[in-house]
Structure 1
Amino acid sequence: MKKVFAHRGMSALAPENTLAAFSMCKQYGIQWIECDVDILADGTVVLSHDDTLDRCTDRCGSLYDLTLSDLSDIDAGSWFHDDFIGERIPTFEQLVTLANEHELNLNVEIKSCTAGWEMTDKLLTNVIRDLEKLNPERELIVSSFNHLALVEFKRRRPETAVACLFEDANLWDDWCSILEACQAEYIHPEDVNLTKEKVQKFKAAGYKINVYTVNDLTRANQLFNWGVDGVFTDIANQFPSKYKK
């Protein structure tokens, strides 16, 4: 079964990392979603790719200066379309509830928290706390570019499959050592410059492969034919039904 992950939800149809974007997945037959998690000053885990508000809300400033009570005054949808005026930055707990209700599987990317290790440690603790509310029949992958954080996550929650994320520029020849140190089941490489030979090396080493971010159906088809297990895409709604069975 080839996996199609709705990257930050149905992010071509709704504002990324919002409940609106994730709520659309079921109607399009998408079973896997990808979300980004970071932390507020009071320890609340929220969905956000960036550690600032600037790109995807009506505000500027750092997530690390906010608390849960601030979220009700921040609009995370009006930048995208009038239909999403008033959409809020969701908490991770809200997404877990939605995933349970809509029977969605999760890839949770733990952001490389720029507020320092103390906040990163709290992010890991609180993500694990919220994951306890995920129904056991839901499938789960936890990924990160911060491989030190991923090692610590796996130490605390060894039953959860983890994935090492790599940008093309950082996918050096020591990738296998990093995956072994993280006890990873998956490698999540960037699509840029990914070759059939690299895919074959990953497969030969025993790892499953999910590639980001693939917004071209012919490229996705090529990757699947090379043996890739899944792709992250902003256009999950355009993928044919053969990937949704």
Structure 2
Amino acid sequence: MSELSGIQIQNLKKDFGTKTVLKDFSLQIPEGSFTSLVGPSGCGKSTVLRLIAGLENATAGELKNSQKNHFGFVFQDANLLPWKTVLENVLLPFEISPELKGISKNEIKSRALDALNKVNLQDSADLFPHQLSGGMKMRVSIARALVTKPKLLLMDEPFAALDEFTRYQMQLQMRDLWQSEGLTVLFVTHSLSEAVFISERVVLMAKSGGGIVLDQKLNLPEQRQEELRTSPEFNSIIKELSEGLRR
């Protein structure tokens, strides 16, 4: 596999015991792109993220990630420590990552406050998780992922548990962050409409063996507005992707 920027996956296989979750899975994610992985439960979407992050090892195949030392991971659950404030939760990576130990306390706090500002939570730094709404908790989780200044953001169904209104707000905010921070984003979701609205490319995965059913670049405006969700072009893409999933 040639050396290119971004993520390159070639003929990847992942077994859990006797069960094969991914087989002959190949995908390229260019730097600076926003790609969504969509598919039924058990197709290996989350496993792809965990393999890229180094949380799992592949059974076979090749995976190269030019941003492997500069990534953040946002899980479906915000995973905030209830006894720590919002600011302290955002500071957690500096406590547990040896490579971040040499940064001064002033720089660390400045980064944390800046990350909170990016998700519009600068006035909530001293609150505790039980004082936050579901959407606010998820924004803290995103701020915690941003505090290390990653180049790559891996997101595993981060908005799945949110109400529809909050989910729509978070999608818009995530698009803004992707553009303003120059991130590479790989976003896992079960929702076709979420994938189409939030990303610039959608990859559909099959249930058995995690094969790719469809890999589609979206011909939609770079700046997304709420009106897009009810537009003919948006619904046409949803229909085409739905047919792809059925196939």
The TM-score bracket by the shorter chain reads 0.3 to 0.5
Who wins on radius of gyration, i.e. which is larger? 2
Q: Which has the higher strand share?
A: 2
Higher normalized contact order (CA 8 Å, seq sep 6+, divided by chain length):
2
Q: TM-score, normalised by structure 1?
A: 0.34
